[in-house]
Amino acid sequence: MASVTFYGGIGEIGGNVILVEEEDSRILLDFGMDFTRENEYFSEYLKPRKAHGIEDFLELDMLPDINGIYREDYLQHLGKEPEKEPSVDALFITHGHLDHMGYVHFLRSDIPIYCTPTTKVMMEVRQESEATSFNEYSEKMRSFYLRKKSRGGLTRLRKNDGKYDSVEIDPIEKRSVTGMEDGRTVDVGSFEVTSVHVNHSLPGPCGYLVETPETRMVYTGDLRLHGYRSDRTENFIQKSREFEPDVLICEGTNIGQEEITPEREVRKKISGCLAEEEESAFVNFPVFDLERMLSVLRAAEENDRNLVVQLKQAFLLRNLEENDLLPWSELSLSNDSMNILLPKKSWGTIMHKFRTPGGKWKTIDRIEMDDENRRKLIAWDYKKWERDFVFDESSVPGGEVKDRLDDYLIYMDYYKLKDLIDLEVKGGSFLWSRTEPFTPDMKIDQQRVHNWLRHFNLSMKKAHASGHLSESQLEEMVETITPEMLLPVHTERPEWFKRFAVNLPEVAYGRIIEIY
């Protein structure tokens, strides 16, 4: 007999953590960050303590109390003895949004992870490029280890210490992350799990068909029917119907929302806004939403502007292209309509003056030195992963962009608003292409955005498409799949699902739901 236990995503949007059991086999479906819970206790300047490893998260019930899944180094650091073997056989991640995979950092490295090939790349990109304390998604650093020093004594084990002969253990543990192509099935214990790719607001999402000797269940993850690849969601719904599931674990983000703007309409609206703008133009959309990036790029091209992306976005695009996973060739950085903004960082070497040994202040291009030395000084301003883009022919320094603002549509998110100062913006449009703020913290951040726009005389214009089904689309999907049991997740309105003539057990945190 199979059972399902929810440890997140209940009565709220995101934070999905679902444990599925059948006899001696156990799998996790997603292991997401609960933003609501985290925001109750922490903020931008009040953070969980890295030195305490996992303690803060367990104490505040931000992580589920499941034995045998958490990192051995964190547990032993707290004086707790970890289990010798993991208590779950695998984790299946639906996509790369943090509310579905953000707490992978805390899991043991010997728990196999399955996801789409694109999500695997995204996990690697997130780990390399995001400046957060708990982002070891694809590999983890052994924490709280000591090593012998070559000249005697002990010191802390560091990430790059594997190169020393005196180090007895590799500081880095690679996680086992397997990319599942569309339609691929893997056997894990008594489970057969099939990945079926869907459409959502970032690349590489999927849902899962899960089969055991006695039970069949479908997990939707997050999905929509109004993006450029809506055919994938249509295929998922059809495959799910043919699967004849006993259980449907179903998202319900947009219950109560009927009007859904198609992605193609977003492009048209942005293009119309740009047609009326003769000065600078900026756009803010979810950083890894490549369908939105494609809409924005096409709108920019229609108005003789180049799209200028941030370094993190360029890093994802390049990694996807190198793995033959770029969803549209138009998004290649070799596209003449794409540029990368090279921001002023650290010393601001690409823009400002420096005192030479002779006592004169000069910009880097006017200081006498060989080119290799000059390139090294500039590269020091940037992180290792950023340096490949510093001298890329598609990269444009802020100083060059500010002289031709009307030639560009520039990506500008909340954390990059300071770049408006360097670009010397005097007016123009700011295209808001993301969801409206819905939490107190988000509303405060939004007010800061308005303050910046007012200071630089930028007018906000809006064009957005949801990453989820409308209410009527959701209803049609459930009626098409026709499960015997329905388990709502990722929704604030689980009671809405009572309209269906199916078994609808009450879902609660930690409650075991048995599948007969």
DSSP state of 352: S
Pairing of strands 306-309, 408-411: parallel
516 residues of the chain, pLDDT tens digit each: 899 999 999 999 999 999 999 989 999 999 999 988 888 898 878 889 887 888 999 999 999 999 999 999 999 998 999 999 999 999 999 999 999 999 999 999 999 999 999 999 999 999 999 878 899 999 999 999 888 887 788 889 888 877 766 677 888 899 999 999 999 999 999 999 999 999 999 999 999 999 999 999 999 999 999 999 999 999 999 999 999 999 999 999 999 988 889 999 999 999 999 999 999 999 999 999 999 999 999 999 999 999 999 999 999 999 999 999 999 999 999 999 999 999 888 888 887 888 888 888 988 888 888 888 888 888 889 999 999 999 899 999 887 898 899 999 999 999 999 999 989 999 999 999 998 887 777 888 899 999 999 999 999 999 999 999 999 999 999 999 999 999 999 999 999 999 998 999 999 999 999 998
Which are the contacts of 132, defined by CB distance < 8 A and separation ≥ 6?
none
Residue 399: predicted pLDDT: 79
Which are the contacts of 458, defined by CB distance < 8 A and separation ≥ 6?
280, 282, 425, 427, 428, 429, 430, 452
Rounded distance between C-alpha atoms, residue 273 and residue 458, angstroms: 13
Q: 263: which 2 tokens? A: 């992605």
Q: 204: which 2 tokens? A: 């590489």
Task: For the chain, give every domain's residue range.
Answer: 2-138+175-256+468-503+510-515, 140-174, 263-345+382-462
Rg (CA), the chain: 25
Alpha-carbon distances, residue 317 vs 9, 36, 477 (angstroms)? 30, 30, 32
CATH number, span 263-345+382-462: 3.40.50.10710
Q: CA nearest 17: which of 224, 249, 212, 245? A: 249
Residue 33: predicted pLDDT: 95
What is the three-state SS of 69-121?
A: CECHHHHHHCCCCCCCCCCCCEEECCCCCHHHHCCHHHECCCCCEEECHHHHH
Q: Which amino acid is at 372?
A: E
HSE-CB of 230 using CA atoms within 13 angstroms: 13
CA angle 122/127/131 to nearest 5° reads 125
Q: In what order do the strands lie in the sheet with 458-462?
A: 395-397, 338-342, 306-309, 408-411, 280-284, 428-432, 458-462
Determine whether 51 is exposed, middle or buried from the number of CB atoms within 10 Å of its CB (0-12, 13-18, 19+): exposed
**Three-state SS for 230?**
helix
Whether 284 contacts 414, CB under 8 Å: yes
- pTM of the full structure: 0.94
Alpha-carbon distances, residue 377 vs 363, 369, 372, 380, 419 (angstroms)? 12, 11, 9, 5, 21
Whether 160 contacts 129, CB under 8 Å: no
**Three-state SS for 394?**
coil
Alpha-carbon distances, residue 359 vs 260, 363, 373 (angstroms)? 62, 13, 19
CATH number, span 2-138+175-256+468-503+510-515: 3.60.15.10
